[in-house]
Amino acid sequence: MDIYYEEDGLQRIHPYYHKYATHAKGRWVGRSIFQVFSQEFRDRSADYYEAAIRQGLIELNGAKVDPSAIVRNGDLVTHYIHRHEPPVGTTPIGIVSDGDEDDGLLVIDKPPSLPVHPSGRYNYNSVIRVLELKHGYSGLFPVNRLDRLTSGLMLIALNAQKAREMEVDFRAHRIQKEYICKVKGDFPAGHVVCDQPIRVVAHKLSLNCVDSADGKPSMTEFRRLSGDGTTSIVYCRPKTGRTHQIRVHLQFLGYPIANDPLYCNEDVWGRELGKGGNLPDLPQTNKQQPLPKAPDTTAVERPEKMAGKRDNDTNEAWLPLVHRMEEWKTKQELVDHVGQSVDDNVPRMCPKCSNPTYPDPTPDELSIWLHAWRYSGPGWTFETPLPAWAQDASDLVDSVKYHSEK
């Protein structure tokens, strides 16, 4: 059976069992296998774990055991998970330059909705796995990484030596990156530079912000290409490579990417959307009334992850914002699980694993208007076509090239 199939405009994966294995952690030793799973991985019920152990879906040292079996030092703990991968868009990966043994570099046009690496709930629906299974590549080393919702140009080394060479060029700032985006508002004309320092606020939430005191030096150049008074197409040239740098700098300037679920979100940032680094009033009292915990499928898929563990490096001053983001994400997850059946609000359950299934993403949830358009390095340049949402600015691309090459 083919791993991939298309239905209702989405690329899907048939649910399948996937093996996760890890050696016993020190804190597990001396506890029953049932206690370990039911107390540490609370994304599923105790009844599920008891049934999974009795059915042999959870094993100790490759053998079926009783729920009362004691975990000992060095034991191999295995959990066979019934995985439901989220569907993604059907736009295929575009091959910009088919790498060969001489140059050792594959260049692709990544469609939105595909993560680069297998992670979390995504495995087969990832750039690396699609290139392996649909295009026959192996031993791939992504040189630049794009967010799951971002589209555009990716450089992928075909061997470790090429990957090291490209890394050296990136660190030496010999590679120029150019992006196109669509932002909220009437972006100012002319050359705009944002050099506000950026810091990671919460790794698990992928949340980054401008922080003049503790942020890392960051710089992005912008140039407006076109606009209709409500939104603008903007050329972006990051001079540094911080996580979410373009998105964070645009938010700071007051022109966030118009469909960015993270940085153009009034529920989290308030009506000003974080313009100028101004945060909404975030009362600490929110922390005293947490929302119900939504199911966390990554906890059971990564045995080393404990439920409820928080980023250790989150500065106390940012905790109200982090909590507000957690509240918003939890609400979204609860809506996903509870509001799947429009007719009767009864969530659909998988008959094999008894877990609620996720609803299909809407087209708006499959992408953001940020596209890696053009990369240049010593003796080479690669470029992708503009996405459909940026076609109004296609006639102005030549002027951008002129400015970028100066």
List helix spans (H) across 100-217.
127-135, 160-171
> Which residue has tokens 């940012």?
318
CB neighbours of 271 closer than 8 A, spacing ≥ 6? 280
List helix spans (H) across 212-350.
245-253, 266-269, 297-301, 319-338
Strands (DSSP E) contained in 76-115 are 76-83, 94-97, 105-110
CB neighbours of 213 closer than 8 A, spacing ≥ 6? none
Q: In this structure, what token pair is assigned to residue 153?
A: 């140009």
Please count the CA atoms within 13 angstroms of the CA of 330 that sit on its side-chain side. 13
Alpha-carbon dihedral 310, 312, 314, 317, rounded to 10 degrees: 90
Q: In this structure, what token pair is assigned to residue 124?
A: 């087969």
- Which among 75, 98, 109, 147 is annotated as catalytic? 147
Spell out a b/e string for 49-85, using b for 16 or more CB atoms within 10 Å of the CB, else e: beebbeeebbbbeeeebebebebeeebebbbbbebbb
Instruction: List the one residue out of 63, 76, 72, 61 whose CA is nearest residue 32.
Output: 72
Q: Is 147 a catalytic residue?
A: yes
Per 3-state DSSP, the chain is made up of helix, strand and coil in percentages (nearest 5) of 30, 25, 45
Residues labelled as active-site residues: 147
